[in-house]
Amino acid sequence: MHGAQPIVIERLALYAKLVRIDKPIGTLLLLWPTLWGLFIAANGFPEPVVLCVFVFGTFLMRSAGCAMNDYFDRDVDRHVARTENRVLTAGLIQPREALYVAAVLGLVSFALVLLLNRLTILLAFVAAILAVTYPLFKRFFAIPQAYLGIAFGFGIPMSFAAIQGQIPMVAWVMLLANVCWAIAYDTEYAMVDRNDDIRLGLKTSAITFGRYDVAFVALFYVLALSLLGVVGYLLAYDWPYYCGLLAGLGIAVMHVYWIRSRERQACFKAFLHNTWLGAAVFGGIGLQLLIY
């Protein structure tokens, strides 16, 4: 009995690496737009139960998405320097174990959603489909980052559904803004692996944009923040909100400056730093709701 305990702990540690518990950036990039939606939909602090469901659900679904991504990419990852040591690719766990982990996390997440209303439950099925199918899009879609933006931003319409029982136009504008933001930050991420992805025949925005990649990153940052500006206009928000967007613009300009030479480490640094852009926008929302 005592001998089995270290084995169980070792297995759980491998599963933790599978779902990237040690790399929270993915969860944060998924969480920020969800928090934007929750606080705007509630016009203040959302109910604790709703907030907890979305925060824990975000963590669980991102983790399940990582497991599914590694399952689909297990034969590709071994040919990419950055991913060749992932636990599934390295053979430390079996493919079926990744599916089991994803299934368990998905079921727990769905159980949490059952605490919310019918519309949110229906949208949860759509969110699950988005999470499962995203890894396949880089096989054929020229800009899979756009699909990622929908998947990572789907917490926005779900937030409005959970709190208001409907999905107003402003939620869809916010989702579109998140798609543009995701194209910007995930292109930075794709620039790190561009040479490997070209060799493997994968599709990414970094490959599609070619030598105009930096310009397109800048463009999509501008589009994202402009659409968030439209959100502020539709909601009749005042200067505190726009201060958050201005801070986000400053961060975006810094990212474009970092990636101008297309150096791998600089591109990865810019990608990781996007959590501060999400935080800046959320700070603007918080100030707006606090002051007004």
Instruction: Write down all domains in the chain, each with its CATH number in brackets.
Output: 4-291 (1.10.357.140)
The confidence score (pLDDT) of residue 267 equals 96
The confidence score (pLDDT) of residue 24 equals 92
Q: Tell me the average pLDDT of the chain.
A: 93
C-alpha to C-alpha distance for 253 and 218, rounded to whole angstroms? 8
Which region among 4-13, 150-159, 205-214 has the lowest average model confidence (pLDDT)? 4-13
The confidence score (pLDDT) of residue 282 equals 98
Which region among 87-91, 116-120, 156-160 has the lowest average model confidence (pLDDT)? 87-91
Residue 2 has pLDDT above 70, yes or no: no
Which region among 4-13, 35-44, 176-185, 283-292 has the lowest average model confidence (pLDDT)? 4-13
Mean predicted confidence (pLDDT) in 21-45: 96
The confidence score (pLDDT) of residue 4 equals 63
Mean predicted confidence (pLDDT) in 45-74: 94
The confidence score (pLDDT) of residue 200 equals 82
C-alpha to C-alpha distance for 292 and 288, rounded to whole angstroms? 6
- Confidence band for 38, pLDDT divided at 50, 70 and 90: very high
Which region among 79-83, 231-235, 273-277 has the lowest average model confidence (pLDDT)? 79-83
The confidence score (pLDDT) of residue 80 equals 77
Residue 93 has pLDDT above 80, yes or no: yes
- Confidence band for 3, pLDDT divided at 50, 70 and 90: low
